[in-house]
Structure 1
Amino acid sequence: MTTTSSAVLLDVHTSALAGMGSLPRTFASWARLAAEVYPDADLSEELFRSHLLNGDEALTALWSRHLTAWDFVENPPWGGSTPARTDERRAVIYEHLGFGADVCKTLDQAVPVAKVPGATVITKKFTPWYTAERAAARSFYWTAYERKLREKGWSEAAIASLDQASRAVVERLTDPEQLTARQAKGLVVGYVQSGKTANFTGVAAKAIDAGYRLVIVLGGTLNLLRAQTQRRLDMELIGQENILRGAEVSDIDSLVGVDYVGDDEGWPDFVRHGARPSTLGAFDIERLTTRDNDYKSLAQGIRALEFEKRVPTQPLHDPANLHHAAARILVVKKNKSVLTKLVKDLKQIHGILGELPALIIDDESDQASVNTSDPKKWERGSTERTAINGLISKLLGLLPRAQYVGYTATPFANVFIDPGDDMDLFPSDFLISLPRPAGYMGVQDFHDLNSPVPADQRTYANSQEKAHVRGIYDSTGDRLQEAMDAFVLSGALKLYRADHGVSDAAFRHHTMLAHQSVRQDDHADLALRINTMWHQAGYSSTAGHERLAALWETDFGPVSAAQAGDLPSPSSYEELRPYVHAARQRIGSGGQPVIVVNGDTDRYFAQLDLDFDRTPNVWKILVGGTKLSRGFTVEGLTVTYYRRTTQQADTLMQMGRWFGFRPGYRDLVRLYIGREEPFGRDKSVDLYEAYEAVCRDEETFREQLAQYAELVDGKPQVTPVEIPPLVAQHLPWLKPSARNKMFNAELVEIRSPGRPIEPASYPLTGSVTKRNTEHWRPLLSALAPEPVPFNNPPDSSSPLSRTFTALTGTVAHGDLLSVLRKLEWDRPRYFDPHLTYLQQLDGTLARVDDWVLISPRLASGDRVDASVAGSIPLSLVRRSIQDGKSSFGRIASMEHRTAAQRLINEAAAGGSTLIGPRTGVALLYPVVEGRTPESVQAAVHNGVADPSKVVMAFTLIPPRSATSGDRRLVRFRAKNSRYEGEATVPSESAS
């Protein structure tokens, strides 16, 4: 056998994989072609395996890139019916490559399948044009961006995920070469501080490669935010050669007016194409805005917007012209004067605008862009628009080939836009929900949502709340001093880790955020208080070190051991002590540990020197309000002291500056947040609970999008116009968005085959509760007196089996419906969408024969049994409704719901001995509302429950067969100004 060097093997494999193009082919054939220049090369699978097993990094990286890309492709013609990112897809890839079992096994070990979720897409039907072949044929800027992401340390899975998510956007835009002008409008929903900029940079790269020649990015309402976006695009997409435009770095005179060179330490990291792209067979990008200058209305600006045609007799969008013309990019503020200048200049070159493929990317599209004028004040047939909304509308009017893509983490304002207003920004063509990226800390990482672990058994290892969340107060009072101590201690731990082999790139900035009010006077008071406390904290004194040592022993040490055992950690506080001194010096540098951030002008932010990109190290405590709640990324944020509240869910989420990526210090993140803080006149609000409620709202929204994204007979189940009814609300005082951003839409039906239906909005008025409870009397009589055991086997939440007992009975489907039809609800018609579905399960939609009733019994020590509406004794359950809420939280215990779901799943698979495939499960809970155990006793007299104090709550799980042939899960009725005067609009007319 001949020997082959690693370099030769890598060259052969690189050439072979490149020759295959975008689909896997028989590798041996392509390798032989590639090895013609190496006649003695060993192409055996044994040699390939040995290099992988011996850790050949370059070869592994090459195969990781290609295998991951194939893993992520959605519905490729060569993939059969295999879903992306699965073992089944990988097996098909190996089959096409023709590899033996040993090589496949070794590749699986070297490059495991990234089993991560993809983007969720709700879309109208569209004409596919952005094929893999077309994307590969013109990919100059995307390839450069992809290369930059690898240099930044992105994994192949993360790059492939971005590739697919950005492709999902671009393919739903209009073909830039299309003869007829058409606009598409879409919305991309990410998570707060989760990398949306990376997605729209990828979209811009692909769109420019495909032929879009004018890209307008609406980048925030302040120049600081606009400049951040400009720099990001300049660094990762546009590149050095396009910025220099022929200027020589060595020639100082030629650099006049060129940004970044000489005053930005990151300049060497900007993308380099090797030469002006136009000399490399591609095309240049001309910037009409720079880091320091927004769009200016100048003659030069007008000339810069003029496009030359290689073939003057053909329109600009003709391929003969389009792919030789330079692209223009503008990053502009959402500012009335700036956008007015742009609109004015575009009007002066109107002759070319009808031929110009343009892309408008609206960052934070629910801010300023949404029309918030009152429709009741509009004159008949005339729409009044707020300033920014009106100017964006004018841009769309001037650019008939413009595509509009909004980006936001809080989508509710956007999906409540009137879809009947053609010149508004409703995402009528597509809505894409991006997957939660790896390494991201979001709401879920600070809450124990649906945790099966009992509260008294939660630890730093199994509870996100215990690990990261602290109250504002404890038994000694306000914990602001403790939050500051945590900031110093976490800074010391970062320095310790940087000194013990952890890359210090993520530790460049280290910040704390104190956020409690919108009033500037309050900010000044809080900043003065923190400054005073800092200078009195005695971080170099014995008392100060004792305080930090105690915090290390009781908090940071145990949390880091439980959450980050793979990171270096000091064995004692004494080992950490030298780093405390260094952290204190960094934070207190210049004698000023605190920066107040509450201005609303560009000049104000310029004087703060808070540009995280250009400032080497920011180790400070930031105090502020509204300006810290939207778009402003606080880099290195580790400790947050948070008391501010709001009555809008989207505003509340945008205040979550502690969300984001925390590489190397995730375990050090602490959130000090208000619990039961004063709110309003007679109310109190738990801010932590409010965030949990918003999290449930948003996750419900995303889950339903994913559920309805599946095509049925090649057609969408829902189109974007039908999205508003999916918006949930878990706290009545916390609206999804401001009232002036919402429109009315009604959900008619929710079908839930095999999925729980758990209403929570029960009326608590005594007379209504009594009537509702009495309605259940005939069904409760079906419960047998002997309890039945249920068992949940070990799973990821517990290594032990869990058991409970329950009273059971069986009732006919019609008998259950008879009760459900009579029930009254706290909100009229609240249960109607579910009832519409359940009423069809008598054979019209899909037959359900009967329902198993399960009334769980509580543990004997806690149980209060009582007869309810003449029933045998049932276990009463206590649930509380906190102030400001009109509904319970979760009714069913996770253990009970798990057991019920298992019955349904086993019946569907034909493996249940307890129920049939056409039997549903109903969990019944006689609930007494109250905050103390005594409230349950108070509802019982002589073993009989007072029906006016007992809510018969329930969770229903229909059988999985309870669906129709069309497999649709929702039906809608929505108001739409296009159909003004009609009582209802069928969902079909919306598409």
Structure 2
Amino acid sequence: MRNTPASVLLEIHTHVLAGMLNVPSHFARWAAVAADDDHPDADLSEELFHAYLVNGDEPLRALWSRHLTAWDFAEDAQWAPGTPARTDARRAAVYERLRFGSDLRKALDDAVPVAKVPGPTVITRDFTPWYTPERAAARSFYWTSYEQKLRAKGWSDAAIASLDEASRAVVERLTDPEQPTARQAKGLVVGYVQSGKTANFTGVTAKAIDAGYRLVIVLGGTLNLLRAQTQRRLDMELVGQENILRGADIADLDSLVGMDYVGDDEDWDDFVQHGALPSVLGAFDIERLTTRDKDYISLAQGIRALQFEKREPTRPLHDPANLHHAAARILVVKKNKSVLTKLVKDLKQIHGLLGELPALIIDDESDQASVNTLDPKKWEQGSTERTAINGLLSHLLKLLPRAQYVGYTATPFANVFVDPGDDEDIFPSDFLISLPRPSGYMGAQDFHDLDLAIPRDERSFANSQEKAHIRDIYESTGDRLQEAMDAFVLSGALKLYRADHGVDDGPFRHHTMLVHQSVRKDDHAELALRINSMWHQAGYSSAVGHERLAGLWTSDFSAVSEARASDLPAPTSYEDLRPYVNAARQRIGSGGQPVVVVNGDSDRYFDQLDLDFDRTPHVWKILVGGTKLSRGFTVEGLTITYYRRTTQQGDTLMQMGRWFGFRPGYRDLVRLYIGREEPFGRNRYADLYEAYEAICRDEETFREQLAQYAAVVDGQPQITPMQVPPLVAQHLPWIRPSARNKMFNAELVEIRSPGRPIEPASYPLSNAALKRNTERWRPLLDSLSAVPASFSNPPDHSSSLTRTFEALTGTVPHSDLLSVLAQLEWERPGHFDPHLTYLSQLDGTLAKVDDWLLLSPRLATTTRTEARVLGSLPLSLVRRNRQDGKASFGRIASVEHRMAAQRLIDAAHSPAETRPDGSAGIGPTTGVALLYAVAVGRSHTDVQAVVRNGSADPAKIVMAFTLIPPTSAVSADRRLVRFRAKDSRHMHDATIPVSSP
């Protein structure tokens, strides 16, 4: 190949960047040395480099993308002190070390923008660092191979760097496999539903075996279909062809008889290829003790398959002289009593070796089957009784003293409630890692308008997730099942249209609709029969059918796609789409059966379904089912969901969200038809959409608090995994975080909230208690001015309108407010105590707060009902719903009011900024209290019912509040929580103090 200026430049840059060894330094000086021998006359000017970048030289851009991204993501980069990863400051430090000029910097920023994505959140206890960058780089055969595979699949440099970072965070908290002393570590990795957790534990496995772990046991679900999916994924992306073939000649058909994948898997050519057996290349081989079609069975030749040869027989296996020459064993097994019993039996036969064997146990969906759910109150005195799978896991951990246990789940609450005092159980005592939300992922937030300030009548397909993706099902308006099926056909046609007009059709290989309405199998059969009949009567090839689809395309899909996917090809009219409708209809109805029922319990049942998305070329079907569709079973190509089944457990409800996941090329086509409660209805379990919003808030609150407390203070973690249970939130009283038999009791002592809202919700139900609370607030109401002040919120990115409201204001001393708060009664005793403990220290003990600005917001004139409260100034009554008699409200402060209060707090600590409301500016030692006179009810009539002769009945209103302390209201140690928890080591103690401020 002739050397062109571009190829010469690429060659020089490649050598230079490789030679820097991950530390950026003076680029021009390195380039001059690199060019001196082979290309002494090469043009190394920044001008030429800049020109190639601007003109889109892809190889050069790709090279710099990999290296800039690696430097951007580097944690604790000693060559760029004080610059956090994935920030403009870090990138600027890189450029300074490279000595690049401003024009070249701008061109590189345009070509490779800084990926400002969050890193993993790590809650950990102290550990001994061992997995250094130098050690990771020294042995990285399988990680490098996996990284190259992901790049070939189209993963971006930022996505790979993010996975690298997150998987490293897990591996570095395992025990050093080479260390002489045996030690187990237990951890939990929390992802999102359908978010690619398998990619993380594949990366963890790659790095762990590179580092020296020689037995990997992956618990891959409760069905062989799920286990086989995990096995295939690991075989394809990590194990590779050579390890699968075990040296067999792929051209010798006789030697391939019985081999996995060869000849019957259309993706065989996409399996990782190492070039030769890894042991021939100076690495080590991977031996599979399970295959795609066979779970673990008692080994035909005894335990010899689990025996490891030692190069130095007098040294233990974990000695580096032996460890890095031994093959690794991988098993992917079901969470099945029979299978795990066979494995335990075989391991028992090699007693001496087990104490030397570094092992890794990865538990996928670790909150399912793995948790011990037996009631401790029913155990025999002095004993621990376990469920079958939990008992076998405990046995494995006892047999393997060097085993590390890592659970993976999207719903962590059951795991964090495991008894931390039971050393033989799976409580994640060493670390809990929350993975960042992946780019391109559609989760609960993408289907809800959480805290969206835009009024409902101003929301559109462009600015509202709900309007774009949610289609409500009310009893009074019909079941909309035909419309959902029409949407399935129409979205399939649009996929085919896009594939025919230049869009990669890989994501369109499968196209599915999920109908999830009941857990009863009889209901599934009846519903499937009905859908099948509807399909054959829908007239998709008739004029009537096309007219119906044309109307749905015009009113829904065309408008949403124009607002959210204008960069994708779109038909100009339904007539352009019509041929693709016919093609979609034929695919869905192939074989005369558009509907598949998925509700079996056995492997045999799933085998006959022919629903293996990996091995079936195209699955275009409507799936009807219940529990089996709500966990583990990945529904590929899911575009339309019809969902009307509920539960009272938050983790189960979230796992039912099969519509979460990645939807490349068809994100705008996703529709969720979901059951809703009638306006002012009384069936609290009917509104599934509200339930999902609540558990979405639960999940995000949990993740936010983990992130808040993950920061290390004075070299020590603020909290450890044992102290995580109190962070679990619950926004709807009828949806528990997890099943009762999985919940561990923990109690917060203190929550510190500097600059953050405090909003209690468990107000009394008793009229007498409400009246007493109102009387306690009465003295502070005299501080309110009769002249309202005006507050405003500037427009956000989705609206050009400035939003304003009025409020009565007054200032009260901190001691006066604290006196009122200390006397308040709550429906749930102790509900406010952790916050009160914090607030009581703001008299100078912890920090100094002088006073509080009270805001009593006024509603818009058209919806305002005013009333005096025990002779106060007229207050604007607000309506809030207790959700059918439960103590907790969903939210007290409105978004507009809370935003304005937060801006006051933020501005008080930013002297350079202009205060948002000059008439009501506050100082750095003043907090803001939003105070509401709440009338409980679902309609305006309910509000008016508590007023008589201009006065509100103090026994029928709730004096509710939201407090935002000053940002400075925190101690020098910056700790944010104190709490206590019960565990089995202190069964007879009422409370156990865990830490002190």
Equivalence for 1:122: 123
Q: Are 2:981 and 1:974 aligned?
A: yes
The amino acid of 1:945's aligned partner reads: A
Contact 2:46 2:104 in 1 (8 A): yes
d(CA) in 2 for partners of 1:233, 1:190: 19
1:681-760 matches, cutoff 5 A: 684-760=685-761
Distance apart, 1:344 and its partner CA: 0.7
Q: Are 2:24 and 1:24 aligned?
A: yes
Equivalence for 2:208: 207
Equivalence for 2:167: 166
d(CA) in 2 for partners of 1:970, 1:521: 50
The amino acid of 1:351's aligned partner reads: G
Gaps of 5+ in 2: none
Equivalence for 1:958: 965
The amino acid of 1:341's aligned partner reads: K
Distance apart, 1:13 and its partner CA: 1.2
Equivalence for 2:14: 14
Distance apart, 1:34 and its partner CA: 2.7
The amino acid of 2:25's aligned partner reads: R
Equivalence for 1:549: 550
Q: Are 2:943 and 1:936 aligned?
A: yes
d(CA) in 2 for partners of 1:476, 1:863: 31
1:723-802 matches, cutoff 5 A: 723-802=724-803
Distance apart, 1:989 and its partner CA: 10
Equivalence for 2:663: 662
d(CA) in 2 for partners of 1:114, 1:237: 26
Distance apart, 1:105 and its partner CA: 1.4
The amino acid of 1:986's aligned partner reads: P
CA deviations on 1:942-973 (whole Å, 9 max, x unpaired) are: 21111112111111000011000111000011
Contact 1:4 1:41 in 2 (8 A): no
d(CA) in 1 for partners of 2:866, 2:406: 58
CA deviations on 1:309-329 (whole Å, 9 max, x unpaired) are: 111111111111111111110
Equivalence for 1:506: 507
Contact 1:808 1:855 in 2 (8 A): yes
Structure 1 residues 615 and 682, CA, compared in 2 at 3 Å: closer, same or farther?
closer
Structure 1 residues 144 and 301, CA, compared in 2 at 3 Å: closer, same or farther?
farther
Contact 2:682 2:884 in 1 (8 A): no
CA deviations on 1:226-245 (whole Å, 9 max, x unpaired) are: 00000000000010111011
Count of matched residue pairs:
988
Distance apart, 1:49 and its partner CA: 1.2
d(CA) in 1 for partners of 2:337, 2:897: 56
Distance apart, 1:981 and its partner CA: 2.1
Match of 1:478, SS state, is: coil
Contact 1:685 1:883 in 2 (8 A): no
d(CA) in 2 for partners of 1:125, 1:31: 43
CA deviations on 1:565-600 (whole Å, 9 max, x unpaired) are: 111111111111111000000000000000111111
Structure 1 residues 635 and 751, CA, compared in 2 at 3 Å: closer, same or farther?
same
CA deviations on 1:820-844 (whole Å, 9 max, x unpaired) are: 0111112111111101100010010
Match of 2:42, SS state, is: coil
The amino acid of 2:596's aligned partner reads: I
Contact 2:934 2:957 in 1 (8 A): yes
1:531-542 matches, cutoff 5 A: 531-542=532-543
Equivalence for 2:990: 983
d(CA) in 1 for partners of 2:456, 2:91: 41
Contact 2:512 2:635 in 1 (8 A): yes
Percent identical across equivalent pairs?
79
Equivalence for 2:268: 267
CA deviations on 1:888-925 (whole Å, 9 max, x unpaired) are: 12211111111111111111123556211100000111
CA deviations on 1:323-360 (whole Å, 9 max, x unpaired) are: 11111100000001111111111111121111111100
The amino acid of 1:528's aligned partner reads: L
Match of 1:730, SS state, is: coil
Match of 1:278, SS state, is: coil
d(CA) in 2 for partners of 1:278, 1:975: 50
Q: Are 2:657 and 1:650 aligned?
A: no
Equivalence for 1:856: 857
d(CA) in 1 for partners of 2:658, 2:678: 20
Contact 1:186 1:430 in 2 (8 A): yes
d(CA) in 2 for partners of 1:947, 1:623: 52
Distance apart, 1:411 and its partner CA: 0.1
d(CA) in 2 for partners of 1:930, 1:738: 30
d(CA) in 2 for partners of 1:484, 1:513: 10
Contact 1:334 1:368 in 2 (8 A): yes
Distance apart, 1:797 and its partner CA: 4.0
Structure 1 residues 813 and 702, CA, compared in 2 at 3 Å: closer, same or farther?
same
Q: Are 2:621 and 1:620 aligned?
A: yes
Gaps of 5+ in 1: none
Match of 1:312, SS state, is: coil
Q: Are 2:948 and 1:947 aligned?
A: no
Q: Are 2:576 and 1:575 aligned?
A: yes
1:97-116 matches, cutoff 5 A: 97-116=98-117
The amino acid of 2:928's aligned partner reads: V
Range with bigger deviation, 803-812 or 186-195: 803-812
Distance apart, 1:677 and its partner CA: 8.6
Distance apart, 1:881 and its partner CA: 2.5
Could you state the TM-score of these two structures normalised by the residue count of structure 2? 0.97
d(CA) in 2 for partners of 1:883, 1:949: 16
Q: Are 2:340 and 1:303 aligned?
A: no
Contact 1:4 1:42 in 2 (8 A): no
Distance apart, 1:4 and its partner CA: 5.6
Contact 1:684 1:883 in 2 (8 A): no
Contact 2:475 2:678 in 1 (8 A): no
d(CA) in 2 for partners of 1:895, 1:675: 26
1:327-476 matches, cutoff 5 A: 327-473=328-474, 476=477
d(CA) in 1 for partners of 2:685, 2:333: 41
Distance apart, 1:477 and its partner CA: 1.5
Distance apart, 1:106 and its partner CA: 1.1
d(CA) in 2 for partners of 1:422, 1:837: 33
CA deviations on 1:612-671 (whole Å, 9 max, x unpaired) are: 001000000001111111100000000011111111111111111110000010111111
d(CA) in 1 for partners of 2:492, 2:50: 44
Structure 1 residues 501 and 884, CA, compared in 2 at 3 Å: closer, same or farther?
farther
| RMSD between aligned residues | 1.7
Distance apart, 1:141 and its partner CA: 0.5
Equivalence for 1:257: 258
1:47-66 matches, cutoff 5 A: 47-66=48-67
Contact 2:978 2:995 in 1 (8 A): no
Contact 1:731 1:886 in 2 (8 A): no
Contact 1:731 1:884 in 2 (8 A): no
Contact 2:978 2:996 in 1 (8 A): no
Structure 1 residues 744 and 476, CA, compared in 2 at 3 Å: closer, same or farther?
closer
CA deviations on 1:293-318 (whole Å, 9 max, x unpaired) are: 11110233621110001111111111
Structure 1 residues 99 and 166, CA, compared in 2 at 3 Å: closer, same or farther?
same
The amino acid of 2:923's aligned partner reads: G
d(CA) in 2 for partners of 1:464, 1:683: 23
Equivalence for 1:282: 283
Equivalence for 1:874: 875
Match of 1:585, SS state, is: helix
CA deviations on 1:738-766 (whole Å, 9 max, x unpaired) are: 11111111011100000011112212322
d(CA) in 2 for partners of 1:540, 1:938: 57
1:802-881 matches, cutoff 5 A: 802-881=803-882
Match of 1:843, SS state, is: coil
Equivalence for 1:292: 293
Equivalence for 1:600: 601
d(CA) in 1 for partners of 2:933, 2:47: 67
d(CA) in 1 for partners of 2:604, 2:301: 26
Could you state the TM-score of these two structures normalised by the residue count of structure 1? 0.98
CA deviations on 1:27-78 (whole Å, 9 max, x unpaired) are: 2233233323222222222221111111110110111011111111222222
CA deviations on 1:168-206 (whole Å, 9 max, x unpaired) are: 000000011111111000000000000000000000001
Equivalence for 2:177: 176
